[in-house]
Amino acid sequence: MTFLVVGLNHRTAPIDVRERFMFDHNEVPAALARVLADDAVREAALLSTCNRTEFYFHLDDSEAGLREAVSVFADHAGELPQQLESYLYVRRGADAVRHLYRVASGLDSMVLGEVQIQGQVREAYEAARGLSGDRRAVRAIFNRLFQSALSVGGRVRTETHISEGAASVPSAAVDLATKIFGSLRGRSGMVLGTGEMGRLTARTLVDEGLDHLFVISRRRERAEQLAADMGGRAIPYPKLWDRLANVDILVTCSGAPHAVITREEVERATHRQKRRPLLIVDISVPRDVEAAVGDLPNVFLYSIDDLEQIVTANCARRQEEVPAAERIVDRAVDDFWRWRAGLRAVPIIKELRERAERVRQAELDRAIAQFSDLSPQDRERIDRLTRSMLHKLLHEPTTRLRKAAENGSDLDILAALRFLLGPGEHGEE
């Protein structure tokens, strides 16, 4: 059995390719069910964000997992500028485990140390756990793997400074606004989208001193809630274009499956008033804003990829924390690998304890039968005594056996114990 990661991210594919690989939350179950149809795939999870889409596998045959992932990706993305494989990376074994830990820790993010990715890993894990049908996507191994990954992500953020400072995608968007306008006091901004990214962007704008915040969403109640939380104002979606003529900053993160901000509408809105520049930051994947909007006079359009330069500057201090964070990850990978190796001793430890318990119970029944005048309390005391003796006798040998398995020196020991136990219940050696 081995682990496998197959995916693409902001390093291997541009935004116009990545957005083709995005899976909505309601598309994830079908994708997981499809890869789990192969009996070689024991467990699976699918992580899909604006900057990465990755399959995680625990399987018997790594080539089977790779084949299934490529097939699902190819069908979902459709026609691409280059061969699909040119965008993909593959990690196997301990490297796959390390990759997940680094992702959860923000070490593999476009924005080094970003906090949002840990929640996205948790959501991918929960989505896989919640898969219904004939095959479970998450069992004991993936439970341990993803729980430990989330724990590692938490440790990296609390034991290092890698997540400190303005280096998230929303923060980078606001940094861009301050570079263009200077102080945001006296400025007005609009956030299109009320999801996690929209909320973070709105909070960052307000914290930076934005005077007027407008929130727009097709779901009116969510826009009103977010606006109330941030001290802003909710605008009905049809009024977007009327309001656009009077704002300085528009940040879009609607999560719509296609562009909702068109050149024609922006040109019409901005033509109504001779005005100062309009900054549009599109941090949505797929993109919310048509690329041609950036050709309009006094309109400055930036996509999520354009934020990388700002992020790089803000991450200088975070970069200094990388070695400490990597050490935490490496130790956690070693711990997980030892735990996994220790599982090889579990079946024979279980058999040893079960055999010993059967012997104890048989001898206890035989002894008690010779003392008909024993009270129920005395019988319970003798039972507890023999159980305690058995536990103490087996504790040290089974602990050492598990440790030997974790250290990779268990093969001869397991074979010797199998020989000493003799035939099993059905006579097999």
> Nearest-CA neighbor of 46 among 105, 107, 127?
127
Alpha-carbon distance of 48 to 54, in angstroms, equals 6
* CA torsion angle 87 91 95 100 (round to 10): 70
Structure tokens given for 14: 């541009």
Dihedrals phi, psi of 218, to nearest 5 degrees: -65, -25
Element counts in the chain: helices (H) and strands (E) = 17, 10
Structure tokens given for 195: 């999801």
Contacts for 189 with CB less than 8 Å, ≥ 6 apart = 177, 205, 210, 212, 213, 214, 247, 248, 249, 250, 251
> Nearest-CA neighbor of 88 among 29, 20, 38?
20
Contacts for 89 with CB less than 8 Å, ≥ 6 apart = 5, 6, 7, 8, 9, 12
According to DSSP, the β-strands at 41-48 and 52-59 are: antiparallel
Structure tokens given for 303: 């996509």
DSSP 192: E
315: annotated active-site residue: no
Q: Of 44, 50, 72, 128, which one is the catalytic site residue? A: 50
Distance of CA 425 to the CA centre of its chain: 44
> Nearest-CA neighbor of 19 among 196, 259, 198, 219?
259
Contact between residue 149 and residue 140 where contact means Cβ atoms under 8 Å apart: no
Contact between residue 280 and residue 293 where contact means Cβ atoms under 8 Å apart: yes
Active-site positions read 50
